[in-house]
Structures are given as C-alpha cells and as structure tokens.
Amino acid sequence: MAKRILLAEDDEDNRDLVSFVMKRSQMDIELLIAENGKEAVDLATREIPDLILMDMQMPVMDGYQATLAIKGDGTTSHIPIIAFTAQAKPEDKARTLQVGCVEHYSKPMDPEELLNVIRKYLQS
Amino acid sequence: MEQPASQNKLAARQCLMAADKFIKDSQFVEAKKEIEKAKSLDPTNLYISAFIDRINYFEKEKSHSAKSAKPIPAPKVPSAQTVVPAQKPPAQNVVVPQAPKQTAPQQVKQPAPTNVAPPKKAVEPVELKQPAPSNVAPPKKAVEPVEQKQPAPPKTIEPPPIENPIVENRTVEIETPKPQRTPDPVQVTPKIAIPDDARVDSPVVTPSLRNQSNEHAVTETQFEEMKRKIDLLTKALEDEKKAREDMNRQQIQQAITQFRGKLEKAWAEGAPSEQKLIEFDQLAVSLSIPENVVRTIQREVKIEMYGRAVKEVISKRQLLRSSSSTLEWLRKVYKISMEEYLEYESKFLMDLVADQYKGTILQISADDQTKKDITPRLKSMGYAVVTSPSPEDALEKIDKLNPNVIICESSFGAGSISGIRFLHILRTNSKFSYIPFIFLSTEEDYALLTSSELRPNEGFVKKPSNFDELSVLINTKLLWFREYIMSLSK
C-alpha cells in the first residue's frame, strides 16, 4: 500500500522539485499538496497522511501554527512532521522541534538526503 | 632505304598468295614462312590471321586424319577474313575412287585432294585405308565409289561477295564447324583460285552463311525481346521487393514506435522494476523486434529520460543543495553507469549550459490551460516564471519581482482591468515602461493590437499561441531591451 506524504509548501518550484524527487524515489508514495498552513491542517485531518513535510514560512497560516494545530488534534498528533525550511539557524531548528517537528531539514534540498530522512520516518 | 608502305602491302599480298599455294599443296611450313614474311611487311593485313587459322585448321585435320580413318566433316571457311577457301577440306564422307588404268590399288596415306573432280566412270573397288593424297592426279574416268556415305557430291559455287565484311566476320565465326556435325551439303568449292587483289579486298559469304546470318538476326530479335521481357519482369520483381521492404519497414517502424512509447513512459520517472523490464522484453518479442534493436532502444530511452530529468532538475538548481549530488542521485535512479554518463557527458553538460538562468518572466493569465501550455516550457528554457492571475495581482508583485519580461493576456474577466489597460499603466511608470511586454491576444483583440502603435519593447501573439513564435518574440524583445540598456550606458 502506498505511503502518503503531505507536503505543505507555498513555493511552486519547491513543490515541483519535491514532487520530482518523490516520483523518482522508487518508493511507493502518494504525495498530497497544500499551499499554506491552513490547507495543510485541513488535509492532514481529512487524509491522515503517514508523514508531513512542512515549510515553516507560508502565507495564511505558517508552518509553526499548522504544526501546533496538527499535533494538538488527537486524530493527527501521531503523524511525524519534518520541518522543511530555509531557516537553518540553531534557534530556528530548536523552535521547530519545540512545536512538535521530529526533524529539521533545511533547504536547499539534496534529493538523496531528503529521501533518507523520509525513509527513516516512514519505516518507523 | 625503307620501302613505301604501299609497296610493302603489295609484297605482303604476294607473300599471302604464295602461302595460299603452299597451303593447297599441304606445304604448311613454307606457307607459314610466307605468312611470316607478309606479317613483317604489312602487320596490318587483316588476312594474315585468317591464313594462320587455315594452316592450323588443316594441320589439325591432317593429324586427326592420320590418327583415325573415320571420316570427319568437311571443314568450312575457318576465318572471317578468309576470302575464299583455297583448298577443299579433306574428304571425309566420300572415299575418292581411283582409276584402275593409271594407278594401281594402293593404300592412301594422305588426305583426299581438295580439288579432285568427280569421277567419270566406275572403277573396281579398291581397298582404301587412308584418304588419297592431295597431290594425286585426278582420275580421267569415273570410278565406282568404294564407299559413299553421302551420295551428293559437293557443289561448286561461286559465292557472292558481301558488302559488309563485319557481317561476314560475325557470320563465319558462328559457322565454325564442329567435328561431330553433319556437313552442309552445299560446300565451298575447292577450285576457287588464289584471291587476287580485288578478291582480297572483297570478302564473300556463302548462301548458307547468309541464311544463318538471317537466322542470327532473327535470333537476335528474339533475344532482344526476351531481354526486354526479362527486364520488365526484373523491374516488376524489384518493385514488389521494394514495396514489401517498405511495408516491412513501416511495420517494424510502427512496432518500434509503439515499443519506444511504452518504454519512455516506463522510464519517465526512473528505471522500471526488473519485472517490468522482463515484460518489455516479452513485448518486444511479440512485436517481432530484433533483440539488438530492443537493446539499442532501451539504451537510447534510458539516456534520453535521464537527460530530460537532468534538464528538469537543473532548471530548479537554485533550490538544490548541490547539482552534482542531485545528478549523482539521478544516475542511480536511471541506472546510468559511469561509462554511459561519460559517453554522454558532453550532451548533459550542454543541457546544463542551455538551461542557464535567462531571466524572470511575469506571466499574467487567468486561463489555466494557457498556464499549463506555456509555463513549463518557459521554465525548461531557463526562465524563472512567476504567475499572476490578474493585472491587479501583478501590479502588487511587479515592483518586488522586477521581471525581465511580462507576458499578459489581452483580456480578463469581469471585475478585472484588461491587459491593454495594464500596459497603459506600466507605460506611465518609467521603471516599467521599457520592460519587454508581450500580449497573448484573443481573436477579438487581435485586430485592435494589429492596428495599435506598439513600442519596440511590445509585441503580441495570437492565442492559442505557437510556443516557437512566442519564444522568438521573447528573444527579440529581450535583445532590443539589452541594446536599449547599453545605449543608455553610452
């Protein structure tokens, strides 16, 4: 059965690139897309994905708020959320872990590296 | 002192006449000497070879007659260049009778004389083991034939000269006698004299030769007809073969196209599974595609799909931590060996160069289909594309974005300003008035835009737009813009 990953990302190019990598990952993955934090919360609640890749800088609702919302919902709290952000400072990393993210992955991305992180959490 | 050529020719003829006499007397050695003389005097004399042929022929006949008492066919004119035979061929079917009063019965060792006249009286049969020698005097009375296989004696004819020696030449060559063949009842007379000058220059042909010449002409006509039919058949066969080859080629081409299409689909997102590859091998077998062709197609598709992926990912390289690690990852995804990569490295590098960032395009469109058709292609050309659903939204973005090119629909739905109005707004702002601006024009606005006075940085293409036309227009406007900026700096 395909694993479902929710990607919350407002940048079209980043969405395309993650989608490009996922399609070629040779993993059985279904990618769900949300363009802002609010959409991400709605989709997570509705679809209950296996993993969430969350951009922290998004319009409408940012990644921090969305993560808090998802982690605060009993139906979605178990879903691992990987912070997927351009902010690479230690304090940014600490903040993402604080709101409930299991991993901080900083952009720009390395396909191999990103897939390794995804595999790690999908297996667990 | 050297003799004139005409004298040499005359002397050569005299030598040939002498040779002819010697031949008649079966003195072939002397005859050969005369021929050699003639040859040295006039090497161009066409009859020399004919005389040599005659001598060879008679010598052969002589030796053959000496070995076997069996009669052999009478020789015919051995060469085309022989005017007339100077000697009757050795008697073969007719045993020459001997006159009892003049000559005692004897064993004749030499061939029968070529110029022996028919006997007048019958004579007692004689035992004849060999034909009579050629120098035996002709009997005065007719004698009883000892043995006669061919009752009719050879006729003496005066063969008419032929006008074209080439015809005779060809005819006589065809008429070269075969030893086993029944002799022609009409034979050349042995009494024909040595050719004089006129005769030497006037070749003759017998009626049989003429008949055979006619037969030869008929045969040639038939041959030509057969050749024509064969040519027609050959052409028809070739046409059929070509048609079959074309059909086969088309079938194979269709099969290959089908196979390739499926393979490309399977390889689009990386190497297919082993099971899939086995299925493709089976498909190739069912389509009767040769294995080597299958391997070539698989390799080509793999490289092409990898190349496309490289292009796609490179257009987003600013989002990648490392292009090289991404390419390395893609090599694994597409199972591209290092050898294959190195083999096609230049192609991939060209892709990288071709996809260098060219600038930013602001695309203003509410039409999803237009965005779907154009945006990915602009990106693959190396442009960063920012889309905006309306002119109002674009006005908010443009200052921050500072695009190199603006592509805008000419019309938008109700509640939004038109693209033309948007252009007028930009023209009033010195910061944006020189940015290349391209309309995607509707049918209704096309006439208006055609009649409008657009500035050099402005242009339009009609929807549904031909991307190549749009691409050319973008490059043209960008070129103008760069030149304009350069002119300002001067």
Tell which wins on pLDDT, B365 or B145: B365
Nearest by CB to residue B312, choosing from A12, A20, A108, is A20
Asked whether the predicted pLDDT for residue B364 surpasses 90, the reply is yes
Instruction: Give the mean model confidence (pLDDT) for residues B451-461.
Output: 89
B198 and B103 in one domain? yes
Q: State the residue for tokens 């990569």.
A: B341
Tell which wins on pLDDT, B310 or B185: B310
Residue B366, C-beta contacts closer than 8 angstroms, at least 6 positions apart: B389, B390, B409, B412, B413, B416
Residue B349 confidence class, pLDDT cut points 50, 70, 90: low
Structure tokens belonging to residue B162: 């032929």
Taking the CA of residue B490 and the nearest CA in chain A, the distance in Å comes to: 38
pLDDT of residue A54: 92
Tell me which chain A residue has its CA closest to the CA of residue B308: A20
B124 and B200 in one domain? yes
Beta-carbon separation of B333 and A26 below 8 A: yes
Residue at which a domain ends, from B332, B353, B374: B353
The ipTM (two decimal places) reads 0.82
Neighbours of B418 (CB within 10 A): 15
For A36-50, B46-60, B392-406, which range has the lowest pLDDT when averaged over its residues? Answer: B46-60
B434 and B306 in one domain? no
Q: How many CB pairs under 8 A join A and B?
A: 49
B199 and B291 in one domain? no
Q: For residue B422, give the CATH number of its domain.
A: 3.40.50.2300
Q: Quick one: how far is CA B117 from the chain centroid?
A: 64
Nearest by CB to residue B316, choosing from A13, A110, A112, is A13
Q: Is B326 on the interface with A (CB under 8 A)?
A: yes
Asked whether the predicted pLDDT for residue B291 surpasses 90, the reply is no
Distances (CA, A) of A118 to A65, A79, B148, B485: 22, 13, 119, 48
Cβ(B411)–Cβ(B445) below 8 Å: yes
Taking the CA of residue B482 and the nearest CA in chain A, the distance in Å comes to: 27
Question: Which chain A residues are closer than 8 Å to B320 by Cβ?
Answer: 17, 108-111
Domain-located, residue B421:
yes
Domain-located, residue B224:
no
B384 and B273 in one domain? no
B396 and B368 in one domain? yes
Residue at which a domain ends, from B298, B327, B353: B353
Asked whether the predicted pLDDT for residue B112 surpasses 70, the reply is no
Residue B189 confidence class, pLDDT cut points 50, 70, 90: very low
Question: Which chain B residues are closer than 8 Å to A14 by Cβ?
Answer: 319
**Strand duo A103-106 + A51-54: pairing:** unpaired
Instruction: Give the mean model confidence (pLDDT) for residues A75-88.
Output: 88
B349 and B269 in one domain? yes
Residue A46 confidence class, pLDDT cut points 50, 70, 90: very high
Asked whether the predicted pLDDT for residue B293 surpasses 90, the reply is no
Tell me which chain B residue has its CA closest to the CA of residue A16: B316
Q: Which of A69-78, B345-354, B376-385 has the highest mean pLDDT?
A: A69-78
Question: Which chain B residues are closer than 8 Å to A26 by Cβ?
Answer: 270-271, 333
| Omega cis (within 30) before B71 | no
Q: Is A17 on the interface with B (CB under 8 A)?
A: yes
B67 and B33 in one domain? yes
Question: In chain B, pLDDT over 70 holds for what percent of residues?
Answer: 66
Instruction: Give the mean model confidence (pLDDT) for residues B10-24.
Output: 86
Question: Which chain A residues are closer than 8 Å to B319 by Cβ?
Answer: 13-14, 17, 107-109
User: Exposed, middle or buried by CB within 10 Å (0-12, 13-18, 19+), for A69?
Assistant: buried
Q: Is B375 on the interface with A (CB under 8 A)?
A: no
Asked whether the predicted pLDDT for residue B154 surpasses 60, the reply is no
Tell which wins on pLDDT, B169 or B286: B286
Q: Is A116 on the interface with B (CB under 8 A)?
A: no
Domain-located, residue B296:
yes
B338 and B372 in one domain? no
User: Exposed, middle or buried by CB within 10 Å (0-12, 13-18, 19+), for B156?
Assistant: middle
Structure tokens belonging to residue B180: 């086993």
pLDDT of residue A32: 93
Q: Is B255 on the interface with A (CB under 8 A)?
A: no
Domain-located, residue B237:
no
Interval B199-244: pLDDT, tens: 444 455 567 777 778 888 888 888 888 889 899 999 999 999 999 8
B403 and B344 in one domain? no
Q: Is B396 on the interface with A (CB under 8 A)?
A: no
Containing domain of residue B279, as a range?
A: 252-353
Taking the CA of residue B324 and the nearest CA in chain A, the distance in Å comes to: 10
Q: Which of B36-40, B55-59, B137-141 has the highest mean pLDDT?
A: B36-40
Asked whether the predicted pLDDT for residue B340 surpasses 90, the reply is no
Structure tokens belonging to residue B244: 């079959």
Q: Is B316 on the interface with A (CB under 8 A)?
A: yes
Instruction: Give the mean model confidence (pLDDT) for residues B148-165.
Output: 44
Residue at which a domain ends, from B305, B336, B353: B353
Containing domain of residue A107, as a range?
A: 3-123
Question: What gap in Å lies between CA B291 and CA B274, rounded to an integer?
Answer: 17
| Omega cis (within 30) before A108 | yes
B270 and B160 in one domain? no
**Considering its fold, how many domains does chain A have in total?**
1
Tell which wins on pLDDT, B490 or B424: B424
Return the closest-CA partner of residue A50 out of A114, A120, A108: A120
B423 and B329 in one domain? no
pLDDT of residue B353: 56
Domain-located, residue B14:
yes
Instruction: Give the mean model confidence (pLDDT) for residues A19-34.
Output: 89
Cβ(B93)–Cβ(B74) below 8 Å: yes
Interval A27-39: pLDDT, tens: 888 999 999 999 9
pLDDT of residue B440: 92
Tell which wins on pLDDT, B465 or B204: B465
Q: Is A14 on the interface with B (CB under 8 A)?
A: yes
Q: For residue A76, give the CATH number of its domain.
A: 3.40.50.2300
Asked whether the predicted pLDDT for residue A111 surpasses 90, the reply is no
Return the closest-CA partner of residue B406 out of B462, B467, B458: B458
**Considering its fold, how many domains does chain B have in total?**
3
Name the average pLDDT for chain B: 72
Domain-located, residue B241:
no
Beta-carbon separation of A14 and B330 below 8 A: no
Domain-located, residue B221:
no
Beta bridge mates, A109? B320
Question: Which chain A residues are closer than 8 Å to B384 by Cβ?
Answer: 13
Residue B485 confidence class, pLDDT cut points 50, 70, 90: confident
